[in-house]
Amino acid sequence: MSTQIEKIKKFVRATNYLTATQIYLKENHLLDNPLTFDNIKPRLLGHWGTCPGINFVYAQLNNLIINKQANMLFTLGPGHGFPALQANVFMEGTLGKYYPEATRDEKGISYISKKFSWPYGFPSHASPATPGVILEGGELGYSLSTSYGAVLDNPDLVVACLVGDGEAETGPLATSWHLSKLIDPTNDGAVLPILHLNGYKISGPTFFGRMNNKDLKALFTGYGYEPHIVDAGTTAKSEEKVYETMAATLEKCYEDIRSIQKAAREGTLNRDNYPRFPMIVFRSPKGWTGIKKMEGIKYEGNSQSHQVVGKEMKKDKVQLKALDKWLRSYKFEELFDQQKGFDQDILDLVPPENLRMGDNPIANGLKDKSQDLRLPDEKVFMEDATVPGTIGSSSMRRIGAYLNDVFKLNAEKKNFRLMSPDETYSNKLDEVFQTTKRVFAGPIEKWDTDLAHSGRVMEMLSEHSMQGLLQGYVLTGRNGVFCSYEAFVQIVASMADQYSKFLKVARDVSWRGDIPSFNYILTSSGWRQEHNGFSHQNPGFIETLLLKHNNFVSVFFPPDGNSALATIKRCLAAKNEINIIVAEKTVEPRWLTPAEAETQVKQGIMTWTFASDATPDIVIGTTGQYTTKEALAAIEIIKAETPSIKVRLVNISELSPNTIGSSTGKMPLSEFEKYFTADKPVIFNFHGYPETLKQSLFDYENTYGRFSVHGYIETGSTSTPLDLHMRNKTSRYDLAIEAWRKMADAHVIERFVAEEKIAIYEEKMKQHKTYIIESGIDPEEIENWVWSGKGR
C-alpha cells in the first residue's frame, strides 16, 4: 500500500502544479528561470481554492479503478474547479486523444497552461468541450441529480460525484440527496457522493464546513446514507495519514456498493428500509498546499483562496516571489523530465484506456444507434375526426396510451424513463402503469398502487431533481420525458437555460456523438387552472426557452389529441434538441384527421380549411388548444351575426426562437403572406404571453398595426374557464368584438352594424359575470359548446 500511496502523492503534486500554472502562467511553465512579471498572464482568472481537493479525489479514484477494474464516471459539482479537472484529464492522456496539441510533454504542458481562460482557448469552467463532462457546473446545485440520472439502467457504473460544500447549500442539491431512494440496485448503477468540505464560499464560511462530525454523520445517516468522514486536517501528520485513509475508505465504499447490488440481484436484499449506500464527507483546507499566508492575509484554510491567490502577481514583487516559492514547492522537476516525460510512478496511476474516467464512452455521446427507441405507429392511437369538432379523448390521454406502448416496445432495451413530480395520475399519463410502475426503493405497503422496487416512472416532488435526473439520463445516451404542470416547470427555468448552453456547445464538438433530445411535456395549463387560481397560471417557461438564439429549441402546441400523438413521436425520434410539448388533459374536440394532424406537425403551421373562406377579409391565427377553441367559437359568432365577413383560420403549432412553423430559419415573406395575406388584418389568439409570439411575428414587413395578439396578460383568479379567457381578452366574445371593429375600419361591414353587434356581446359578457357569481360555473352553452360547422 505504501508504494501505491507514494504514487498517489506524486500524481497529486503534479496535478496541483499543472492547475496553478493554468491559472497564472502564460510562459516559463517549467520554471526554467525565476518568474518575472512577463511570465504572468495579463488577466488572472480561475478558482484555486477547491482545486487541490479535486486533484486529491481524482487521483484516489484512479487508484480504486486500477485496483478494482471499476467502471467509473466523475462529475464535478464545483465546475469552477475546472483547471484541476483539466489537469487530470491531461495527465490520464484523454485530453491529448481529442486535442492533439495536449501531449504529455513540455509542449502539451505549455498548451494547456496558456490556453486556460484564454480567448478562444479553454473556458474557466467545465464544459462539453472537455472529455468526460456531463455537467457544466457554472450554476451550482445540479451535480448529484445529474449523477443519479447517469446511473439509471447502467448497472455496472459507479459515478463519483464531488459536491462542493457551497454548492450543497443550494435548493436543487439539498433535495437531490433523496434520489438514492429512487435507485433500484437490481438494474441501476450507484452514485458515490463525496461532499467536499473546504469550509468556505467566495467570502465566508459554509454551513456544512462549520458542522462537527457528529452532526454531519447524524444528518447523512438520517438521509439514508452510510457516511464516512475523511479529514485532511491541518498538520503534516494528518496530511500524511489522509492518503491512506481515503484509499481505504474508497475501497470500503466500493465493496459496500457492490454488496448491496449483489444482494438485490440475488433477491436477498432486506427491503424493510431503503438500501443504505455509502457517501464520503471529505474535509480539506481551502487552497490546500498553496500559499498559506501573504502580506498579512491568511489564504490556505480561508475564503481568500477561493479564486485567484494574489491578484497582483503581474506587478507586485512580494506576490510574485510568493508564487515562485509556491510553485517550486511541488518539486515538479522530480515528477517530469523534459526528455523522458512524466515519472513512471505517475504513469502507473493512469487507468487502462478503457477505464479512464475522462474517456468513459457514455459521457461523450453515442456513435451508434443502439439506444434509439423503438417507436409505435402513432396512427394506431389516433381517433376519427372526419367531422371537425367531434368530442374525443384528451391530448394527455392519447400521449399516455402512446407512451405505454413505448415502454412495451423498449422493455428489453431499458432505455426509456418518465420523470414526473408526483403528477402522473393528475396529468392523465397513468396508462403507462399497464406496463411499468413507479420506482420506490423503500418499503412498499400492500395498499400502495403502481409502486415497485423496479419501475421506469420516477416521481418526486422536486422539479429540480426530475430535471437533473433526465439530464444525466439523456446525456449518457438514453431517452426520456419530463412532464410537469406548466406553472411549476418554471422552477427549473435556470436549469433548462444551463442545459441549453451545454447542448449548444456540445453540438459543435466534433468528437461528441449524438444524444437523444430532452423532451418536456407541459400540461395542466393556466387556462384550465381556474379552480386552483392565480398561483397555477404561468406560461412563462416557453418564453424562457424561445428567447434563446438556438436552432435546436422547439415548442409544440398540438391543437388536439391526434396532433399530440404526431408531436410526441417526432420529439422522441429527435436527436440533440430541446422539445417542449404543451398539451392539455381535459376532454376536448378533435379538429384534425390523422392525415391532417401529420401535415400540421410536419409544417408547424396550417390553414384550417374547414373553418376558412378562400379569400378572407380577416385572418384569425391561433396557437394552443384552449385558445384555438375560443377562436373557432368566435368564428362561429362572426359568421352567424355577420355572414358577409370572410374569415380564415391559421393555426401555428410549432415555435422556435424567432421562427414560426417548422422552418429551420425565418419563414420567407412570400410563405408568410400565403397564410396571413399581405394586407388583411390579423387577430391572433395565443396560448402564452403576447410578447412571446410578437417577437416572431413582428419581424415581418407590414405586421405592426395589422396584427394584434391576444394572450395571457397576468390576470387570473379562482374563476371559470370562460371568465379566465375574458379577463385576459382571449375569449370568443373579445375576438368577435375586435373582428367587428376591424371590419368596420376596413369598410367590410357598416359601422352601425359593428356597433350594434359589439353592444350585444359586451352586454353578454356582463351577463356572464353575473351568472357565474351566482351559479359558480359557466352556462351550459359554454361548457357544452360544440362546433356546428357553420364557420364558413
Q: Where are the alpha helices (DSSP H) in 514-652?
A: 540-546, 561-573, 594-603, 625-641
Query: Is the pLDDT confidence value at 216 over 70?
Result: yes
Residues 6+ apart with CB under 8 A from 720: 530, 772, 776, 777, 778
- Residue 204: what are its φ and ψ, rounded to 5°? -160, 175
- Amino acid letter for position 612: S
Who contacts 368 (Cβ-Cβ below 8 Å, separation ≥6)?
A: none
Cα–Cα nearest to 39, from 21, 51, 17 = 21
Predicted confidence band of residue 456 (pLDDT cuts 50, 70, 90): very high
| pLDDT band of 237, cuts 50, 70, 90 | confident
Whether pLDDT at 368 is above 70: no
Q: For the residues of 169-207, what is the DSSP string, one character each?
A: GSHHHHHHGGGGGG--TTT--EEEEEEEE--B-SSSB-T
pLDDT of residue 551: 86
CA distance linking residue 656 with residue 663, whole number of Å: 9
382 half-sphere exposure, CB direction, 13 A CA radius: 25
Instruction: Give the separation between CA 785 and CA 323, rounded to whole angstroms.
Output: 78
* pLDDT for residue 701: 78
List Cα–Cα distances, 720 to 468, 734, 774, in angstroms: 36, 16, 12
Q: Give 178-211 pLDDT, tens digit per residue.
A: 999 999 999 999 999 999 999 999 999 999 999 9
Tell me, what's the pLDDT at 369? 59
* Interatomic CA distance for residues 57 and 48, integer angstroms: 15
How many angstroms separate the CA atoms of 629 and 731, rounded?
9
Cell output for 545: 426557452
For CA atoms 150, 75, 282, 67, the dihedral sign is positive
Q: CA–CA distance from 513 to each of 363, 364, 417, 474, 518 (Å)?
A: 9, 6, 21, 12, 15
pLDDT in tens, 718-769: 999 999 999 999 999 999 999 999 999 999 999 999 999 999 999 999 999 9
Give the pLDDT confidence score for residue 471 in this predicted structure.
97
C-alpha cell at position 121: 482557448
pLDDT at position 240: 80
C-alpha closest to that of 495 among 533, 530, 464: 464
Q: In whole angstroms, what is the distance from residue 628 CA to residue 205 CA?
A: 54
Helix (H, G, I), strand (E, B) or coil at 774: helix
Are residues 176 and 458 in contact, defined by beta-carbon separation less than 8 angstroms? no
**In CATH, what class is 378-589?**
alpha beta
CATH architecture entry for 604-783: 3-Layer(aba) Sandwich (3.40)
**In this model, does residue 366 exceed pLDDT 80?**
no
pLDDT digits (tens, 9 = 90+) for 521-533: 999 888 888 888 8
Cell numbers linked to 547: 428567447
Q: How confident is the model at residue 104 (pLDDT cuts 50, 70, 90)?
A: very high
Sign of CA dihedral 634, 635, 636, 640: positive
Q: Does residue 324 surpass a pLDDT of 90?
A: yes
Whole-structure pTM value = 0.95
3-state helix, strand, coil split of the chain in percent (to 5) is 45, 15, 40
Integer distance in angstroms from the first to the last C-alpha of the chain?
Answer: 85
For the CA atoms of the chain, what is the radius of gyration? 30
Q: Residues near 321 by Cβ (< 8 Å), separated by ≥ 6?
A: none
Bridging pattern class, strands 707-710 and 682-686: parallel
Phi and psi, residue 789, nearest 5°: 85, 10
Q: How confident is the model at residue 367 (pLDDT cuts 50, 70, 90)?
A: low
**What grid cell was written down for 538?**
404561468
CA–CA separation, 470 vs 458, rounded Å?
Answer: 10
Residue 517: the pLDDT is 96
Distance CA 682, CA 702 (A): 11
**Strands (DSSP E) found in 629-673:** 647-652, 654-656, 659-660
- Please say if the pLDDT value at position 639 is more than 60: yes
Q: Cell 352601425 maps to which residue?
A: 752
- Res. 52 pLDDT band, cuts 50 70 90: very high
Chain region(s) in the chain for CATH 3.40.50.970: 6-360, 378-589
* From the candidate CATH numbers 3.90.1150.10, 3.40.50.10420, 3.90.226.10, 3.40.50.970, the one assigned to the domain spanning 6-360: 3.40.50.970
* CB neighbour burial string for 484-506, b if at least 16 within 10 angstroms, e if fewer: bbbbbbbbbbbbbebbbbbbbeb
pLDDT computed for residue 446 by the predictor: 95
Q: Looking at the DSSP assignment, which residues form a beta bridge with residue 578?
A: 518, 553
Of 453, 33, 106, nearest to 264 by C-alpha is: 453
Residue 790 has pLDDT above 70, yes or no: no
User: CATH 3.40.50.920 residue ranges in the chain?
Assistant: 604-783
What is the rounded CA–CA span in Å between residue 375 and residue 565? 12
Residues 115/108, Cβ–Cβ less than 8 Å? no
In this predicted model, what pLDDT tens digit does every residue of 653-711 receive, in sequence order?
Answer: 999 997 898 877 788 999 999 999 999 999 999 999 999 998 888 778 778 889 999 99
E strands in 692-785: 707-710
Q: In the predicted model, is pLDDT for residue 791 greater than 60?
A: no
C-beta of residue 427 within 8 angstroms of C-beta of residue 585: yes
Residues in the chain: 792
Q: Write down the pLDDT at residue 664.
A: 74
When the pLDDT of each residue in the chain is averaged and rounded to a whole number, the result is 94
**Which amino acid does the sequence have at 789?**
G
